[in-house]
Amino acid sequence: MAVITASTFDPLLAHVNVRLQQGVPIVDADWNTQDDIRKFELRAFLKWYVGDGVPEGNDGFRIGTGPANSFTIRAGVQGPGGSLPNAEAALRQVGRFIVDGLDVFLRSDVKFDQQPLHESQPGAAALATRLGVPVVTKLDTPVTDHRVLVELDVWERLLTPDEDPGLIHTGLGVETCARTRREWVVRAYPETTPGPHLPGHSYATLAVLQRFTGQDVVADGQIIDRRQRRLLLPPANLVTDLLGVDPYDYRAGQGRPPISLREAINALLAGQLPTTADLSVSPGPGSDTIRRAFVLDSQNGLAAFWISPRVGSVNQIFATRIDLAAPDAGFAPAVAVTSGTTHVEPTAVPLPNGEFLVAYQNGLLSSASTDVVFKRATLAGLAAAPEQALSATAGTADETPFGVLSADIVTFFVRQAATNTWFFRRYRHTDSTFLDATPVALPAPAAAGVAGGLHATAAGGVVWFGYVTTAGNTMTLGRLTPTAPAASAVDHVIPAPLAGTDPFVVGVSATEAMVFYKDTQVKVVSAQSGSWQTGAVVTVPGSDADTQPAAARDANGTCFLLATRPVTGAGNEVFLRRRDPATGVWGSAQQVISSPSNDQNPHPVLVPGQGIWVLWRSDRPGAGNFDLYAKRIVTAI
- With H, G, I as helix, E, B as strand and everything else as coil, classify residue 90: helix
Closest by Cα among 365, 364, 347 to 356? 347
542 has a pLDDT exceeding 80: yes
Amino acid 1: pLDDT: 64
Q: What is the DSSP letter of 417?
A: T
248 has a pLDDT exceeding 90: no
Percent of the chain surpassing pLDDT 90: 76
Q: Are 142 and 153 in contact (CB under 8 A)?
A: no
d(CA 485, CA 478): 16
Name the residue with higher pLDDT: 377 or 268: 377
Amino acid 521: pLDDT: 96
Measured in degrees and rounded to the nearest 5, phi and psi for residue 112 equal -55, -45
Amino acid 77: pLDDT: 73
Q: What is the DSSP letter of 3?
A: -
Parallel, antiparallel or unpaired: strands 474-480 and 501-507: unpaired
d(CA 599, CA 562): 12
497 has a pLDDT exceeding 90: yes
Rg (CA), the chain: 31
Measured at the CA of 185, the angle between CA 108 and CA 77, to 5 degrees, comes to: 25
Closest by Cα among 612, 560, 604 to 586? 560
91 has a pLDDT exceeding 90: no
Question: Mean of the pLDDT values across residues 597-609?
Answer: 93
End-to-end Cα spacing for the chain: 59
Name the residue with higher pLDDT: 232 or 18: 18
- With H, G, I as helix, E, B as strand and everything else as coil, classify residue 51: coil
User: Judging by beta carbons within 10 Å of its beta carbon (0-12, 13-18, 19+), is residue 485 exposed, middle or buried?
Assistant: exposed
d(CA 601, CA 293): 12
Q: How confident is the model at residue 241 (pLDDT cuts 50, 70, 90)?
A: confident
- With H, G, I as helix, E, B as strand and everything else as coil, classify residue 298: coil
Dump pLDDT digits (tens) for 338-362.
Answer: 999 999 999 999 999 999 999 999 9
CA dihedral 306, 307, 312, 313 (to 10 degrees): -140
Dump pLDDT digits (tens) for 402-449.
Answer: 999 999 999 999 999 999 999 999 999 999 999 999 999 999 999 999
Amino acid 570: pLDDT: 67
Name the residue with higher pLDDT: 61 or 247: 61
Q: What is the DSSP letter of 243?
A: H
Domain boundaries, the chain: 1-50, 54-251, 259-286+545-637
Closest by Cα among 431, 432, 442, 483 to 466? 442
Question: Mean of the pLDDT values across residues 326-348?
Answer: 95
Q: Are 336 and 311 in contact (CB under 8 A)?
A: yes
Q: Where would I find the beta strands (DSSP E) of 11-134?
A: 62-64, 72-74, 95-99, 102-106, 110-111
Chain mean pLDDT for the chain:
93
Residues in the chain: 637
CA dihedral 608, 612, 613, 616 (to 10 degrees): 150
Q: Are 530 and 510 in contact (CB under 8 A)?
A: yes
Lowest mean pLDDT among 85-89, 300-304, 389-393: 85-89
Amino acid 238: pLDDT: 82
Q: How confident is the model at residue 121 (pLDDT cuts 50, 70, 90)?
A: very high
Amino acid 262: pLDDT: 85
Amino acid 290: pLDDT: 93
Q: How confident is the model at residue 281 (pLDDT cuts 50, 70, 90)?
A: very high
Q: Give the list of residues 6+ apart from residue 582 with CB closer than 8 angstroms, or none.
A: none
Measured in degrees and rounded to the nearest 5, phi and psi for residue 627 equal -115, 170
